[in-house]
Amino acid sequence: MDKKVLVLDIDGTLTNSKKEITQATKNAIWEMAAKGHDLVLASGRPTPGMRAAERELRMEEYGGYLLSFNGAKVIECRTGEVIYQRLLSRSLIPSLYRFAKEHSCGLITYLGDTVISAFEPDEYVALEARINGIKIQVVENFVDFVDFDINKCLMTAPANVAPDYERQLRELYKGEASIYRSEPFFIEIMPLNVDKATSLARILEVLGVKREDTICCGDGFNDISMVKYAGVGVAMGNAQKALKEVADYITASNDEDGIVEVIHEFIP
């Protein structure tokens, strides 16, 4: 039997619309893991925001990997070892701050289990903190405060203007950072050439598994790279149209145990 690697986005994929992992999904994942297959959780969330899902799926016991910050950091769950990490250049912070201020965007980064916000939180920054179960600290001088290593920044804007800001930022930071949206209102600012697919390739090197034996499931814009990279790329029934267009398979929605369907369909 060829070992399979199941790669799951969290929000809108592993979890339903109530942010819950259903018992049916847990049972299917544990059954798969008991047969010797591997699980990777791949999310734009910071690492602390992935810990609840890690505990709920008992990944320290069954094994697996957390691919956080859209791939800028990868942790092995049994040992807690960081096996891969990329940092965003802090030299970009002043111009990111200026852009966010000029366009009335939210701007955050992360320090431990805290969201560091450049401005009073908008509804999207508040959502990011709530999803991850971490607190917000508004700092007086964001540029000076961020004197520590960071894996990413997140800019927030209403969905009707975020695509235009995303395009502007891509042009502004061409050759310096990777820019893409994870949700219609979240603009991810990542180290150059970092995405979920790039980091997944590093995990496969460690595991000695071919990309043909990966099944990657997602729903958002930031899942496109790994869904295209996978042996089988899966879009949830609730996925963004752009992701469905590049997927090999469209499963049921996150409210219909779409992950259970994928496991039964593709993992022996």
pLDDT tens digits, 104-142? 999 999 999 999 999 999 999 999 999 999 999 999 999
Round the average pLDDT of the chain to a whole number and report it. Answer: 96
Task: Please give the residue range of the domain that contains residue 108.
Answer: 90-191
The pTM of this model reads 0.90
Q: How many domains does the chain have?
A: 2
Both 95 and 66 in one domain: the answer is no
pLDDT digits (tens, 9 = 90+) for 220-244: 999 999 999 999 999 999 999 999 9
Radius of gyration of the chain measured on its C-alpha atoms: 18
Both 76 and 114 in one domain: the answer is no
Rounded Cα–Cα distance for residues 148 and 106 (Å): 20
Buried b (16+ CB within 10 A) or exposed e, 186-204: bbbbbbeebbbbbbbeebb
Both 74 and 207 in one domain: the answer is yes
- Average pLDDT rounded to a whole number, residues 77-92: 96
* CA atoms within a 13 Å half-sphere pointing along the CA-CB vector of 198: 17
Rounded Cα–Cα distance for residues 202 and 226 (Å): 12
Structural domain ending residue among the three candidates 191, 221, 247: 191
Both 94 and 149 in one domain: the answer is yes
Rounded Cα–Cα distance for residues 152 and 2 (Å): 35
pLDDT digits (tens, 9 = 90+) for 145-165: 999 999 999 999 999 999 999
Both 198 and 252 in one domain: the answer is yes
Q: What's the pLDDT score for residue 205?
A: 93
CATH number, domain containing residue 144: 3.30.1240.10
Q: What's the pLDDT score for residue 213?
A: 97
